[in-house]
């Protein structure tokens, strides 16, 4: 039996199955990247809900694993060299899990780096820009009389969607025929933009047929269906 007692986070979220990878998350676009990845790869894992309503993400226990107080984070009892590994940042976790399992990332060097390139495109562009648009369209920012901030993020989101649209022409997925971590990172955010953020009309989502096509294929995958609801909200 693996002993994870050296990690303070296990005091707040005890591991029922300490031999399994521990996931600390919430079903947000960033959070579900990892739950979907785990469902796709079949790695045994134990999910723990980090509730924003009770400010779990700022608790000393969570900060001991991720000082940046963001989900998701993982604790892998079987990390490199057989030692436990704590890791945060969704993109880093996706790369780690792809390398650990040998799945969802090309094995040739050129394909690997091109996949990571598109993962970084999501991390640096789609995630932050779509998130800002959500703030100005649905949350506190919607009450601002000056719509220039909202319109700035609308324009940038359209630009990013067009980049993705052009990439997907003639391709089943971002990297071609194979589903990869680039898709796992990107399409929860596209889904959120249209659904939860209610910004589909603002960005003219109907003008991006390839994005819509691949989004539909993405949400139809059984592992995605499962991962979108993990961890289960209380």
Model-wide pTM > 0.95:
yes
Count other C-beta atoms under 10 Å from residue 222's C-beta: 9
The predicted structure's pLDDT at residue 13: 98
Over residues 31-71, the pLDDT tens digits come to: 999 999 999 999 999 999 999 999 999 999 999 999 999 99
Which two tokens mark 160? 């990013």
| Residues facing 73 on adjacent strands | 24, 88
The predicted structure's pLDDT at residue 2: 84
Q: Positive or negative, the Cα torsion across 116, 174, 71, 201? A: positive
The predicted structure's pLDDT at residue 63: 98
For 86, the enclosing helix (H) or strand (E) is strand 85-88
The predicted structure's pLDDT at residue 1: 67
Q: Which residues of 68-86 are buried (b: 16+ CB within 10 A; e: fewer)?
A: ebbbbbbbbbbbeeeebeb
Q: Please report, in tens digits, the pLDDT of each residue of the chain (234 residues total).
A: 688 999 999 999 999 999 999 999 999 999 999 999 999 999 999 999 999 999 999 999 999 999 999 999 999 999 999 999 999 999 999 999 999 999 999 999 999 999 999 999 999 999 999 999 999 999 999 999 999 999 999 999 999 999 999 999 999 999 999 999 999 999 999 999 999 999 999 999 999 999 999 999 999 999 999 999 999 997
């Amino acid at each position: 039996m693996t002993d994870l007692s050296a990690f303070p986070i296990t005091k707040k979220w005890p591991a029922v199955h300490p031999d399994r990878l521990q996931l600390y998350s919430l079903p947000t676009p960033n959070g579900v990247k990892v739950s979907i990845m785990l469902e796709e790869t079949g790695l045994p894992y134990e999910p723990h809900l980090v509730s924003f309503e009770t400010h779990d993400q700022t608790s000393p226990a969570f900060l001991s694993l991720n000082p940046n107080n963001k989900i998701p984070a993982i604790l892998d009892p079987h990390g490199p060299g057989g030692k436990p590994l704590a890791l945060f940042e969704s993109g880093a976790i996706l790369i780690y899990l792809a390398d650990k399992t040998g799945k969802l990332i090309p094995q040739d060097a050129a394909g690997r780096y091109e996949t990571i390139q598109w993962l970084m495109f999501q991390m640096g562009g789609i995630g932050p820009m779509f998130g800002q648009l959500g703030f100005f369209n649905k949350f506190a920012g919607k009450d601002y009389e000056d719509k220039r901030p909202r319109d700035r993020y609308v324009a940038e989101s359209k630009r990013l969607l067009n980049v993705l649209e052009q990439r997907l022409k003639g391709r089943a997925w971002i990297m071609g025929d194979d589903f990869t971590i680039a898709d796992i990172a990107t399409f929860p955010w596209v889904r959120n933009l249209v659904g939860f953020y209610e910004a589909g009309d603002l960005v003219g989502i109907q003008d991006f047929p390839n994005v819509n096509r691949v989004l539909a294929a993405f949400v139809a995958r059984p592992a995605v269906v499962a991962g979108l609801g993990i961890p289960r909200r209380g």
